[in-house]
């Protein structure tokens, strides 16, 4: 009957009632997502425990070890596997002889931290702009949407380079990088939020809230924001890995965080000429970056399916499932 | 064991999804060319039975027990190939929502042709020709051209016709129609039912009609099987079951079906109060309101120069088919929309924007409550917005919940824990919390089962009398509206075509359109149904 | 530019227009043994196409705009100049020899007037005669604002040069301090003695430009050739150049350029790692390929040294070039010599050299002047830090300076990935100074910002990384801009980093400039360097060494110490 | 007739919108780079220029004018074109004139025309590859989820998605050009010069980009198809005995077309603005590489020109996307 139709159509917008419990139930059924989640957890742990871990190893990310590199051969690490040894678990960096393990774990902090911060910036700006555009009147919407178009149309890399050059060098670089990535990348999320808001504000309970005499601000907070959580979190989960790559790319263009602070992107950049002479120097950060982005992406997908009932229903939509059904 | 006389034979059919038993040990048989109606409220399992006939449960993980034989084929045991032959070939199905049931991306003709070619070795041209043929058969004008159109270019009725055409394409022996008219306007519904009727007469195919609307069944089948919670309640010839129901549930069901031909029961109490609506002062008024949507070329007036008055304590009914602009009007009355032209006046003063003293009850019991907030909080909204504080607020809310027939304990529950009817009561409670003088109800019961409908309508009527509320009752269902309104306004294409005391309009409609509407309402007496069918033909003719 | 990564270099591309890098870009030259390994064994023949794989496009191809040492490399195939560098290996290559002129110039007694006579029978690619007026015009053009970019010497040395606006603005009056009494004679009048004028005359500004052919800023699209090759194609503003034989050039008048190949195909804008990959693979045309601006990075070097065949195709070059720490004594605490000395002691040149690419790519430097005879290099090490820094001595000096319990300073450097003023070097120093109780805060600036900051006397920091390259192999252009007090530029780009204005130094510079005996001059420059070194205004860090790969069929590799560049005018591919 | 009107209106609205957007972009870029460090005159003139010379250059480049004057001059050039002096003669830079490069005195418009073919070749070729790879994977993922072939492909695309282009590209180059010597080290050969060489040389860059992008398309295709498969009309066709193959191939995939077009147009748009990393890595003389170079030498006219161009492509792409989308999915109305 009509009500069925109505239910289906509205639930595509609303996250399922009493989200959290459902969310976990839906997430738990996805093995890939769980694996990914644990990997991410591990990486975060790695990052947080960086000082501890390198202390255990007895190294730090900045001390030079000229004796551990072959100066005559361009500073390639002495010994096998890039100078892998008891006190240098993953070998040392060519030219400087700095400890790779220490740099990697410290690098994790920067890379993950920057990406996370950038994502937060994107989400916040995106939410504000999106809701304002979606809930505001035609003119507000016009103006904001146009502005969003402009931002989306700006080439991320170039603007980052410029912005990073403008800000005085005193400003803490990781924060700056995060902010810049964030400020340039919120466009897409704003568009999504706007679209969702437009749908949401058609919903009767929003109208009802207006009839109750609440202010727009309060309505945005109480009626819209919670409903937006699902799509936003979903999208943010997919943005996060992208931002990690963005940090790497910026370093690659010479606009990342500054030495001696290590970041994966930065290590990759200086490493990618050493692919033959000292492969592990390239492969370690590349591998880590790869695993991280992969895990986060898979997790992001998992989160999406767990949050978005349609996606969730997809989990059970059988096309190749005839066989089980026979039984 | 299928004798050639038998088309469908269902024995001890049980369908379960996980722990839920949708259908429990149901058995029935359908002779060739006969028509059986499966009637029941939502959750009675009637649609599940329909799908079971085509083995649609395969691959969904539902557990199917018992045997289903369609034209000799054991659906449960049939091979994929057999099943495909059965589907569409022997037995064709028509679904509820005609829009979503067709692929939006392909021309209707092509979709029918595709189905046709699944079952017949035919060239594309031949298949197309066939498509045109059946489209023409189901009364799509200019079928050749229309065959190339896509579903969204069709009206709801035409889409349903197209679906029926698809069903006809392979000349099935059985047509399974699952709520084929629920999503349609009453006049269109009548047309579709008539179409089904004539098709049966001509092709002699069997019909299994699944519907929640007893009236629809009465119009179009020989036997009915009343279901409830997956089990059979009563089964027999339509006349007997509807005429002299044996079971209490059937009786209750029939009783709660609103009758368009029975005037509203006026409480004696009211007569004593003797308040003549005409005398009471006007609380809400629409003066030449007009609302235009879209701009430039695409602009159209959803509501066009409508003037209405609502007096204290009276109930104004507004009926109209989809697109008549009744909802837009309703939203302008409460101030959710501002009119493009004209005025909305409250106590004679022109106002814009929302005011607590005019509240609304919404159609969709799902989206009208914030799923993330306890119902108590939702109801409390108007109070808190007024700046009242606990415990006063809580007490008031508890009282309101009780008044609309819910338990105080429900305060802290969440919407999804309630049935459609209960949610609607919550919605009403929230509206009352603002102490409104006018309550605008937009299709308040159209999403509910008949039994629940009756209760909610009853509640609204009580509240009106008790609190001296003025009630604006917007609905597409003429029968329901008649049960509540003192006065009636009939809307069509954004205008009020007829307006007057309810009983007058119902007994002696002046407008042809109104007459057409009334004629389209299904009646419970199968005998009468036949007469009306004839009557309708004339009307539609005169219409054109 | 000697970065392991060409990509990262592109980010610092701002450098490409600066003196330092252009000099660096023209840097390379093998030791004698390398030269043998190179190709002197196989006899060179005429013919074939030489491919040049470069990173930086030849964006400026106008003789007036080029800032190249000794007439540059690819440009010197097209532009002949009054004098040019001796096209020979190593130290011998650091001498000036006649080119268009019959000799390296005839000075008056105080070296303020220089006279040149053009050889007989010199013609352009179209056969028309080259006259002294064309040379004059070529010099004058370089004063036009539209064609800015050249070296400052003409402006500073020629009488009236300071306010001459170039031929486009002078209404045909021309620059009086250049006389052309007849078609073959040209006389330059200088405002002060300059014994090194012959060196200057090697620069492309001394290329004849026929006034009739001058198209202003568009001239570079097809400059008129006086050399062995002419431009037949110039795509995308120098991204691809195709040169073919200039039939009107004759070896009789040109002893320097061998011009073996019939064709030279210059492809630029390539990634340095790609260039080196291609050279080592030496597939097809790449077998006849060389590069004039891309060195082997540390990583690539590590691979090459492991491979005999490749190692035999590496040319090594030394170029007059020094990377150093600069102090600005106007900023505390660097006004205190003891602090500067302490830092000089504490520096760990091993880790610095490693950061710069290792001992094969950088030689530790204790003298400011490059370690080459032509510069008059005189060995000294006033503040011996040993291989890896003398922390204890540094601490002692700090104590004397009143910083018994440590000192915190800020080291300004560039974020350019040039491995010279870049973070890698800075962090190496930071790490070394830690041992001496000096806490170093790093202030890394975007490259443009960095240059603005350090080249402006108003903003110049007290402690920063800098480098300097020679405009020609002599102490003059190396010491004067850095230590001549009269060259402190108040409202423009200043290179006197120590802002030293010491009369004795200034006088000695003037005295040396008077000398026209270049060997004697060299010795005096060396002595002066040693003397200035005592003030610890700079801490020399290292002199880069340039390693370059060339294709397997490339013969007659000649790399001079002047530009250190593998000389394309000598290379043969047959 | 109505459709036509609809389209005309759409085109008009979009063009106006685009103009506004591009103006905004150019202003932003002007302001940002005005603030960026780097003494343009000094850089252009050369480090050893005397203050006097630097001043001359500054005058010539109108660097001393206030920002808004320079901006208006820029606009004037776009609308009316400019005359400029080469010293010996006066040349005309015809509208739309984006000015002259500070560094090379080239007309920015000419410079763009020179770079565009490179970036264009790169973008289009890559698109073909990623569509094949991505959509193919997506279909498999929706249709035969969990099967080996699907897992492998999904794995590949995800791997590509998770690795920075400069790493993928480098590894590919080392492996295929260096070790196996299957392909030449990429160097741009104009299509007009030698189509075959053009393709061979661009194959690696295409592949690298495709590997990066494919995953997005796979994911999109998959989810769009699954969404469609969950819709009522699919149930209808099942109920009419239509086979899975036809349902997936005809109906489910069709549903993915719209979103795919939208995404693709966007990516293409931003790629046309220059694949900075890829172009840098493979040394392709395209827009992106030129842009980064211009940024570093503060070559404002070039930067503004290229960024506005980039913006133009993005805006254009979006408009085209909406248009195609509307064509693909007739239910949506152009707006």
Pairs of residues, one from chain A and one from chain C, whose beta carbons lie less than 8 Å apart: 132
pLDDT in tens, C502-535: 999 999 999 999 998 989 999 999 999 999 999 9
Give tens-digit pLDDT for D214-252.
Answer: 888 888 888 888 878 878 888 888 888 888 888 888 888
Task: Read off the pLDDT of residues B220-243 as tens digits, 9 standing for 90 and up.
Answer: 888 999 999 889 999 999 889 988
Say what the pLDDT of residue C1 is: 28
Q: Does A325 touch chain D (CB under 8 A)?
A: no
Whole-number pLDDT of residue A313 = 40
Distance from the Cα of A124 to chain B's closest Cα (Å) equals: 21
From D280, which residue of chain A is nearest by alpha-carbon distance?
A: A253
Is residue C6's pLDDT more than 70? Answer: no
Neighbours, chain C (3 or more CB pairs < 8 A): A, D
pLDDT at residue number C205: 94
| B483-506: pLDDT as tens digits | 888 999 999 999 999 999 988 898
Q: Are residues C460 and C336 in the same domain?
A: yes
A10 phi-psi bin (left φ>0, alpha ψ -120 to 50, beta other): alpha
Give the H/E segment covering residue D12.
helix D2-35
pLDDT band at C15 (very low <50, low <70, confident <90, very high): very low
pLDDT digits (tens, 9 = 90+) for C330-361: 998 999 999 999 999 999 999 999 999 999 99
C323 confidence band (pLDDT: 50, 70, 90): very high
Nearest residue of chain B to residue A322 (CA atoms): B59
Residue A230 clears pLDDT 90, i.e. is over it: no
* Model confidence, pTM: 0.80
- Domain limit, last residue, from C199, C234, C269: C269
Q: Are C228 and C338 in a shared domain?
A: no
Q: Is residue C563 one of the residues assigned to a domain?
A: no
Q: Please state the rounded mean pLDDT for residues C192-196.
A: 92
CA atoms within 13 A on the CB side of D56: 19
By DSSP bridging, strand C438-445 and strand C407-414 are: parallel
State yes or no: pLDDT of C219 exceeds 50.
Answer: yes
Task: Tell whether B453 lies on the interface with A, counting CB pairs under 8 A.
Answer: no
> What's the confidence (pLDDT) of residue B278?
58
CB pairs A-B closer than 8 Å: 118
Q: Is the pLDDT of residue C247 over 60?
A: yes
Instruction: Tell whether C360 and C478 lie within a shared domain.
Output: yes
- CB-based contacts of A171: which residues, under 8 Å, 6+ apart? none
Q: Which residue has the higher pLDDT, C550 or B267?
A: C550
Instruction: Give the model's pLDDT for residue C10.
Output: 28
Total structural domains in chain C? 2
Interface test with A, best of B55, B56, B59 (most A CBs within 10 A): B59
| C386 lies in some domain | yes
What is the phi-psi region of residue D283: left when phi exceeds 0, alpha when psi lies from -120 to 50, beta otherwise? left
Judgement on whether residues C90 and C189 belong to the same structural domain of the protein: yes
Q: How confident is the model at residue A212 (pLDDT cuts 50, 70, 90)?
A: confident
More confidently predicted of D172 and C135: C135
Which CATH number fits the domain that encloses residue C207? 3.40.190.10
Size of interface A-D (CB pairs under 8 A): 136
Q: Is the pLDDT of residue B273 over 80?
A: no
pLDDT class of D5 with cuts at 50, 70, 90:
low
Tell me what percent of the residues of chain B surpass a pLDDT of 90. 31
Asked whether residue C374 falls in the same domain as residue C265, the answer is no
Chains B and A contact (Cβ–Cβ under 8 Å for 3 or more pairs) = yes
> What gap in Å lies between CA C556 and CA B109, rounded to an integer?
80
Does C569 reside within a domain? no
CB spacing of C239 vs D54 below 8 angstroms: no
CATH of the domain at C331: 3.10.105.10
Q: Please determine, for residue A294, whether its predicted confidence score (pLDDT) is greater than 80.
A: yes
A166/D contact by beta carbon, under 8 A: yes
pLDDT confidence of residue B279: 67
Q: Tell me the chain D residues in contact with residue A245 when contact means C-beta distances shorter than 8 Å.
A: 164
pLDDT at residue number C42 = 65
pLDDT at residue C17 greater than cutoff 70: no
Arithmetic mean of pLDDT, D170-195: 81
Q: Do C484 and C339 belong to one domain?
A: yes
Given C231, C251, C269, the domain boundary residue is C269
Task: Identify the pLDDT of residue A72.
Answer: 86
Q: What residue in D sits closest to C144 (Cα-Cα)? A: D87
Q: Which secondary-structure segment (H or E) carries B492?
A: strand B487-492
Supply the pLDDT for residue B187.
Answer: 84
List the structure tokens of C124: 């352009």
The helix/strand/coil state of A145 is helix
Average pLDDT of the residues in D143-165: 78
Query: How many Cβ atoms from other residues are within 10 Å of residue D192's Cβ?
Result: 8
Q: What is the pLDDT of residue B539?
A: 64
Per the CB < 8 Å rule, is D158 touching A294? Answer: yes
What is the C-alpha to C-alpha distance for residues A148 and D234, in angstroms, rounded to an integer?
A: 37
Domain extent at residue C403: 321-546
- Do both C98 and C201 map to the same domain? yes
C334, part of any domain: yes
pLDDT, one tens digit per residue, over C408-458 is 999 999 988 788 998 889 999 999 999 999 999 998 888 888 988 999 999
Shared domain check, C259 and C331:
no
Record: contact B363-A204, CB cut-off 8 A: yes
For residue A324, the model assigns a pLDDT of 26
Point out the residue among B212, B360, B366 whose CB comes nearest to the CB of A10. Answer: B366
Neighbours of chain A (3+ CB pairs under 8 A): B, C, D
pLDDT at C230: 95
pLDDT on residue D153 = 80
CA distance C222 to chain D (A): 14
**pLDDT interval class at C554 (50, 70, 90):** very high
Question: C350 with C464, same domain?
Answer: yes
B137-152 average pLDDT score: 87
Averaged pLDDT for residues C66-83 = 89
**C262, C331: one domain:** no
Mean pLDDT over all residues of chain C? 87
Q: Are D258 and D325 in contact, with CB atoms under 8 Å apart? A: yes
**Partner-chain residue, chosen from A18, A223, A318, that has the shortest CB–CB distance to B414:** A18
Residue of C nearest to D111 (CA): C236
Which residues of D fall within a CB distance of 8 Å from A282? Answer: 167
Alpha carbon C159 to its chain centroid, in Å, reads 26
B372 in contact with chain A, both atoms CB, cutoff 8 A:
yes
Task: Say how far apart CA C222 and CA C207 lie, in whole Å.
Answer: 14
Query: Which chain A residues touch D146 with a CB distance below 8 Å?
Result: 320
In this model, does residue A263 exceed pLDDT 50? yes
Question: Chain A 121-160, CB below 8 Å of chain B: which residues?
Answer: none
pLDDT in the model for residue A3: 34
D256-268 pLDDT tens trace: 888 888 788 878 8
In-domain check, residue C291: no
User: Which pLDDT score, from 0 to 100, does residue A214 have?
Assistant: 87
Spatial separation of the C-alpha atoms in residues C2 and C25, rounded to whole Å: 8
Tell me whether residue C312 is in a domain.
Answer: no
Residue B358 backbone phi and psi in degrees, to 5: -120, 110
- pLDDT band for B436, please (50, 70, 90 cuts): very high
**Percent with pLDDT over 90 in chain C:** 64
Q: Are strands C362-364 and C538-549 parallel, antiparallel or unpaired?
A: antiparallel
Chain B environment of D232 (Cβ under 8 Å) = 95, 97, 100-101
Report yes or no: C361 at the A interface, CB cutoff 8 Å: yes
Q: How confident is the model at residue A293 (pLDDT cuts 50, 70, 90)?
A: confident
Whole-number mean pLDDT of chain D? Answer: 82
Rounded-to-integer distance, Cα C468 and Cα C324, Å: 8
Average pLDDT in the A255-264 region? 82
What pLDDT shows up at residue B431? 93
Q: Where are the beta strands (DSSP E) in C320-397?
A: 321-327, 362-364
Our answer on whether C and B touch (3+ beta-carbon pairs < 8 Å) is no
D14 vs chain C: nearest CA distance in angstroms? 34
Q: Percentage of chain D with pLDDT > 90?
A: 5
Distance from CA of D318 to the nearest CA of B (A): 22
- Closest by CA position to B450, among listed B375, B360, B524: B524
pLDDT digit string, tens, across residues D286-307? 888 888 888 877 788 888 888 8
In C, which residues are within 8 Å of A255 by CB distance?
11
**Residue A4 pLDDT class (50, 70, 90 cuts):** very low
Tell which A residues from 39 to 98 touch D, by Cβ distance under 8 Å. Answer: none
- In this predicted structure, the answer to whether residue A19 has a pLDDT above a threshold of 80 is no
The subunits that touch chain B, with at least 3 C-beta pairs less than 8 Å apart, are A, D
Task: Flag whether C559 is in a domain.
Answer: no
Is C338 found in the same domain as C224?
no
Touching, A vs D (3+ Cβ pairs under 8 A): yes
By mean pLDDT, which of A310-324, C163-177, C242-256 is the weakest? A310-324
Average predicted confidence (pLDDT) for chain A: 80
Q: For residue A309, which of A213, A203, A191, A230 has the smallest C-alpha distance?
A: A230
The more confident residue out of B208 and D231 is B208
Give the closest of D49, D173, D285 to C239, CB-based: D285
| Cβ contact, residue pair C360, A95, below 8 Å | no
Q: Is residue C557 part of a domain?
A: no
Q: D333: nearest CA in chain B?
A: B298
Last residue of a domain, one of C231, C252, C269: C269
D105 vs C217: CB contact, 8 Å cut-off? yes
* Together in a domain, C45 and C186: yes
Q: Which residue has the higher pLDDT, D183 or B31?
A: B31
Furthest-apart CA atoms within chain A: distance in Å: 82
SS3 call for C481:
helix
Give me the mean pLDDT over the C82-86 stretch: 94
Task: Report yes or no on chains D and C touching (3+ CB pairs under 8 A).
Answer: yes
How far is the C-alpha of B482 from the C-alpha of B491, rounded, in Å?
15
Give pLDDT, residue A202.
82
């Amino acid at each position: 009957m009509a009500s069925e139709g109505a239910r289906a159509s509205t639930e595509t917008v609303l996250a399922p009632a009493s989200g959290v419990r459902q969310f976990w139930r839906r997430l738990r059924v996805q093995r890939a997502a769980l694996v990914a989640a644990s990997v991410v957890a591990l990486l975060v742990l790695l990052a947080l425990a960086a000082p501890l871990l390198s202390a255990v190893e007895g190294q730090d990310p900045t001390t030079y070890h000229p004796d551990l590199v072959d100066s005559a051969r361009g500073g390639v690490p002495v010994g096998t596997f890039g100078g892998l040894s008891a006190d240098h678990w993953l070998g040392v960096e060519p030219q400087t002889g700095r400890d790779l393990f220490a740099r990697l774990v410290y690098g994790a902090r920067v890379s993950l931290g920057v990406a996370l911060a950038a994502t937060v910036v994107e989400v916040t700006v995106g939410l504000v702009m999106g809701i304002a555009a979606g809930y505001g009147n035609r003119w507000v919407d016009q103006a904001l949407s146009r502005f969003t178009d402009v931002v989306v149309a700006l080439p991320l890399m170039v603007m980052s380079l410029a912005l990073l050059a403008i800000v005085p060098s005193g400003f803490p670089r990781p924060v700056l990088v995060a902010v810049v990535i964030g400020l340039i990348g919120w466009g897409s999320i704003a568009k999504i939020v706007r679209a969702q808001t437009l749908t949401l504000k058609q919903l009767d309970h929003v109208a009802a809230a207006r009839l109750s005499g609440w202010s727009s601000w309060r309505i945005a907070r109480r009626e819209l924001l919670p409903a937006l959580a699902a799509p936003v979190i979903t999208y943010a989960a997919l943005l996060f890995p992208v931002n990690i790559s963005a940090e790497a790319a910026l370093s690659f263009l010479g606009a990342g965080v500054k030495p001696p602070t290590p970041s994966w992107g930065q290590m990759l950049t200086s490493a990618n000429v050493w692919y033959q002479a000292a492969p592990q120097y390239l492969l370690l950060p590349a591998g880590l970056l790869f695993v991280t982005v992969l895990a986060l992406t898979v997790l992001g997908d998992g989160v999406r399916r767990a949050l978005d009932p349609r996606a969730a229903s997809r989990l059970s939509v059988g096309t190749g499932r005839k066989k089980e059904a026979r039984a | 064991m299928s004798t050639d006389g038998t088309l469908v034979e269902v024995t001890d059919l049980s369908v379960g999804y996980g722990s839920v038993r949708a259908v429990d040990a149901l058995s029935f048989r359908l002779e060739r060319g006969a028509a059986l109606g499966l009637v029941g409220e939502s959750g009675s399992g009637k649609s599940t039975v329909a799908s079971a006939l085509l083995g649609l449960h395969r691959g969904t993980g539902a557990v199917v027990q018992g045997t289903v034989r369609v034209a000799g084929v054991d659906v449960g045991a049939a091979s994929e190939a057999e099943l495909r032959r059965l589907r569409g070939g022997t037995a064709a199905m028509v679904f509820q929502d005609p829009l979503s049931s067709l692929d939006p991306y392909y021309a209707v003709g092509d979709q029918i042709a595709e189905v046709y070619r699944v079952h017949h070795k035919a060239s594309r041209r031949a298949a197309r020709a066939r498509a045109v043929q059946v489209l023409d058969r189901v009364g799509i004008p200019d079928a050749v051209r229309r065959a190339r159109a896509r579903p969204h270019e069709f009206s709801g009725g035409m889409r349903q016709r197209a679906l029926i055409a698809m069903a006809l394409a392979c000349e099935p022996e059985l047509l399974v129609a699952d709520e084929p008219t629920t999503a349609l306007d009453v006049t269109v519904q009548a047309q579709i039912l008539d179409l089904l009727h004539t098709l049966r007469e001509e092709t002699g195919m069997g019909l299994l009609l699944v519907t929640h609307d007893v009236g629809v069944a009465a119009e179009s089948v020989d036997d009915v099987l009343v279901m409830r919670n997956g089990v059979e309640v009563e089964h027999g010839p339509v006349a007997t079951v509807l005429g002299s129901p044996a079971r209490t549930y059937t009786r209750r069901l029939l009783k709660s079906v609103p009758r368009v031909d029975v005037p509203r029961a006026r409480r004696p109490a009211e007569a004593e109060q003797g308040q003549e609506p005409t005398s009471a002062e006007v609380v809400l008024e629409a003066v030449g309101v007009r609302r235009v949507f879209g701009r430039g070329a695409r602009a159209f007036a959803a509501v066009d120069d409508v003037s209405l008055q609502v007096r204290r304590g009276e109930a104004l009914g507004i009926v109209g088919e989809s697109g008549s602009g009744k909802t837009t009007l309703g939203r302008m009355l409460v101030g959710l929309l501002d009119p493009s032209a004209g005025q909305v006046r409250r106590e004679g003063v022109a106002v814009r924007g929302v005011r607590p003293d005019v509240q609304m009850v919404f159609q969709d019991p799902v989206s009208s409550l914030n799923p993330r907030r306890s119902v108590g909080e939702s109801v409390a909204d108007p109070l808190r917005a007024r700046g009242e504080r606990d415990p006063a607020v809580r007490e008031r809310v508890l009282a309101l919940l009780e008044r609309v027939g819910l338990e105080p304990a429900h305060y802290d529950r969440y919407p999804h824990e309630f049935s459609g009817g209960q949610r609607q009561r919550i919605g009403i409670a929230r509206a009352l919390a603002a102490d409104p003088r006018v309550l605008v109800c937009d299709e308040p019961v159209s999403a509910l089962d008949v039994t629940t409908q009756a209760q909610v309508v009853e509640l609204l009527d009580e509240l009106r009398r008790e609190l001296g509320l003025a009630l604006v009752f917007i609905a597409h269902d003429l029968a329901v509206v008649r049960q509540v309104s003192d006065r009636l306004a009939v809307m069509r294409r954004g205008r009020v075509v007829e307006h007057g005391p309810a009983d007058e309009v119902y007994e002696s409609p002046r407008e042809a359109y109104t007459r057409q509407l009334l004629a389209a309402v299904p009646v419970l007496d199968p005998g009468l149904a036949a007469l009306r069918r004839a009557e309708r033909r004339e009307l539609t003719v005169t219409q054109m | 530019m000697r970065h392991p990564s060409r990509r990262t270099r592109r980010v610092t591309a701002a450098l490409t227009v600066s003196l330092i890098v252009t000099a660096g870009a023209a840097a390379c030259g093998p030791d004698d043994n390398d030269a043998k390994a190179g190709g002197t064994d196989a006899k060179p023949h005429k013919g074939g196409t030489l491919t040049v794989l470069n990173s930086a496009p030849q964006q400026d191809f106008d003789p007036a705009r080029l800032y190249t040492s000794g007439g540059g490399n690819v440009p010197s195939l097209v532009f002949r100049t009054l004098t040019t560098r001796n096209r020979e290996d190593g130290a011998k290559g650091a001498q000036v020899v006649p080119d268009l002129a019959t000799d390296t110039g005839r000075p008056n007694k105080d070296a303020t007037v220089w006279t040149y006579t053009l050889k007989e029978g010199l013609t352009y690619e179209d056969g028309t005669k080259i006259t002294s007026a064309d040379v004059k015009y070529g010099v004058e053009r370089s004063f036009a604002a539209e064609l800015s970019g050249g070296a400052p010497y003409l402006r500073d040395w020629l009488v009236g040069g300071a306010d001459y606006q170039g031929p486009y603005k002078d209404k045909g009056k021309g620059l009086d301090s250049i006389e052309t009494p007849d078609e073959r004679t040209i006389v330059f009048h200088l405002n002060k003695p300059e014994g090194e004028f012959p060196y200057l005359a090697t620069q492309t500004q001394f290329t004849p430009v026929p006034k009739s052919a001058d198209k202003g800023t568009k001239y570079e699209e097809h400059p008129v050739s006086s050399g062995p090759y002419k431009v037949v194609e110039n795509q995308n503003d120098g991204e691809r150049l195709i040169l073919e034989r200039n039939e009107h050039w004759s070896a009789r008048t040109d002893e320097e350029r061998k011009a073996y190949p019939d064709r030279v195909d210059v492809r630029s804008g390539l990634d340095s790692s790609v260039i080196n990959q291609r050279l080592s693979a030496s597939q097809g045309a790449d077998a006849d390929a060389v590069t004039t601006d891309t060195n082997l990075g540390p990583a690539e070097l590590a691979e090459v040294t492991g491979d005999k065949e490749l190692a035999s195709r590496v040319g090594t070059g030394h170029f007059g070039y020094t990377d150093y720490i600069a102090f600005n004594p106007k900023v505390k605490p660097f006004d205190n010599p003891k602090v500067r000395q302490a830092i000089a002691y504490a520096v760990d040149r091993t880790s610095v050299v490693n950061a710069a690419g290792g001992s094969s790519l950088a030689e530790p430097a204790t003298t400011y002047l490059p370690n080459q005879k032509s510069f008059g290099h005189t060995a000294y090490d006033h503040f011996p830090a040993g291989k890896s820094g003398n922390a204890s001595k540094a601490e002692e000096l700090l104590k004397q300076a009143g910083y018994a319990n440590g000192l915190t300073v800020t080291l300004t450097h560039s974020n350019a990935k040039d491995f010279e003023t870049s973070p890698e070097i800075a962090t190496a120093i930071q790490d070394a100074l830690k041992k001496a109780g000096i806490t170093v805060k790093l202030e890394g600036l975007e490259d443009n910002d960095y240059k603005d900051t350090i080249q402006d006397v108003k903003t110049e920091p007290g402690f920063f990384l800098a480098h300097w390259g020679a405009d020609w192999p002599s102490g003059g252009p190396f010491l004067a801009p850095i230590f001549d007090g009269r060259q402190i530029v108040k409202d423009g780009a200043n290179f006197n980093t120590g802002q030293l204005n010491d009369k004795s130094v200034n006088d000695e510079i003037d005295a040396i400039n008077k000398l026209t005996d270049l060997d004697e001059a060299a010795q005096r420059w060396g002595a002066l360097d040693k003397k200035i070194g005592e003030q610890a205004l700079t801490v020399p860090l290292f002199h880069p060494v340039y390693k370059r790969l060339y294709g397997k069929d490339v013969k007659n590799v000649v790399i001079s110490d002047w530009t250190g560049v593998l000389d394309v005018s000598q290379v043969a591919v047959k | 007739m109505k459709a036509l009107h609809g389209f005309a209106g759409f085109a008009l609205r979009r063009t106006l919108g685009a103009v506004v957007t591009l103006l905004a972009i150019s202003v932003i870029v002007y302001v940002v780079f005005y603030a960026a460090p780097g003494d343009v005159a000094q850089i252009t003139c050369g480090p050893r220029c005397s203050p006097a010379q630097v001043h001359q250059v500054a005058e010539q480049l109108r660097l001393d004018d206030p920002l808004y004057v320079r901006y208006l001059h820029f606009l004037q050039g776009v609308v009316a074109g400019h005359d400029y002096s080469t010293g010996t003669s006066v040349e005309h830079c015809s509208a739309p004139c984006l000015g002259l490069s500070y560094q090379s005195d080239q007309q920015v418009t000419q410079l763009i025309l020179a770079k565009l073919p490179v970036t264009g070749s790169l973008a289009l070729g890559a698109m073909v590859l990623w569509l094949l790879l991505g959509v193919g994977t997506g279909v498999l993922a929706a249709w035969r989820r969990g099967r080996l072939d699907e897992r492998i492909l999904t794995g590949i695309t995800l791997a590509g998605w998770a690795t920075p282009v400069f790493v993928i590209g480098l590894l590919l180059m080392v492996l295929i050009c260096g070790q196996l010597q299957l392909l030449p080290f990429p160097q741009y050969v104009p299509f007009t010069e030698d189509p075959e060489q053009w393709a061979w040389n661009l194959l690696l860059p295409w592949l690298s980009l495709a590997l990066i992008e494919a995953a997005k398309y796979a994911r999109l295709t998959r989810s769009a198809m699954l969404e469609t498969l969950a819709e009522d009309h699919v149930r209808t066709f099942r109920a009419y005995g239509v086979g899975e193959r036809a349902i997936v191939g005809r109906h489910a995939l069709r549903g993915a077309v719209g979103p795919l077009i939208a995404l693709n147009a966007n990516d293409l748009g931003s790629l046309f603005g220059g694949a900075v990393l890829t172009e840098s890595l493979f040394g392709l003389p395209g827009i992106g590489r030129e842009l980064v170079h211009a940024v570093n030498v503060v070559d404002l006219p070039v930067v503004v020109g290229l960024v506005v161009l980039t913006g133009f492509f993005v805006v254009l792409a979006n408009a085209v996307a909406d248009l195609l989308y509307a064509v693909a999915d007739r239910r949506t109305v152009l707006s």
